[in-house]
Amino acid sequence: MKELENNSDYQNLIANWQQVSKQVNQACEDAARQVDSVILLAVSKTKPADMIATLAQQGQQHFGENYLQEAIEKIDMLKQQPETKDIVWHYIGSIQRNKTRDIAEHFDWVQTVERDIIAKRLNEQRPAELPPLNVLIQLNIDKEESKSGCLPAQLPELITAIKGYDRLQLRGLMIIPAKVGTDAFTRTKQLFDEIKETHPELSAWDTLSMGMSGDMTEAIANGSTMVRVGTAIFGARA
């Protein structure tokens, strides 16, 4: 495991995480929400396992990874250590068909399900000894051609499909909005609430993953229950 270069790196990492945690709590208070109503997902892609372990020891529980092979190596290493074995791992990268087995076997959550074929494979490949895989539908709320995600019009059909898969637990939506001039957070929350109302059978429909370092305060004000933060915690990518 790569060591943190020196004690100041260790202290900076912890200070960054504490600062972001404080910002999340403040945003909750400003929005008149309970501080425990929003999960901070630390996006640890390209960062070494010892950085993840350092934050886990401070109390950070949820970590997000984009790159599958790198993630598997870190997950396998950290699951063997008592202080990091209870980390909750989220896959937040794009999903290729030939990667679904590894994702289904290693992760607790998948936030980037956008097609039924991917959901079907994750369902079939989730090991029987593990609990159902928590999934979010990635929604292309601004209908951008450059972005992945299910279009709003396709959402009912995909929800119906995922509902039928015993090894998946549908938890909600994830979005990456357009950079400027969009009320994406408001529209996504409205859609999220409509689905909750029209699908009472979705008993675990409770998660709205939206907001990153630059817009998490606005996202929390609009009902986000999970913010995904990387650089503000870990620093720029190496």
Q: How far apart are CA 220 and CA 80, in angstroms?
A: 34
* Domain ranges (residues) in the chain: 7-234
CATH superfamily for 7-234 is Alanine racemase (3.20.20.10)
- pLDDT per residue rounded down to tens, the chain (238 residues): 444 445 788 899 999 999 999 999 999 999 999 999 999 999 999 999 999 999 999 999 999 999 999 999 999 999 999 999 999 999 999 999 999 999 999 999 999 999 999 999 999 999 999 999 999 999 999 888 888 899 999 999 999 999 999 999 999 999 998 876 679 999 999 999 999 999 999 999 999 999 999 999 999 999 999 999 999 999 876 5
The predicted model scores a pTM of: 0.95
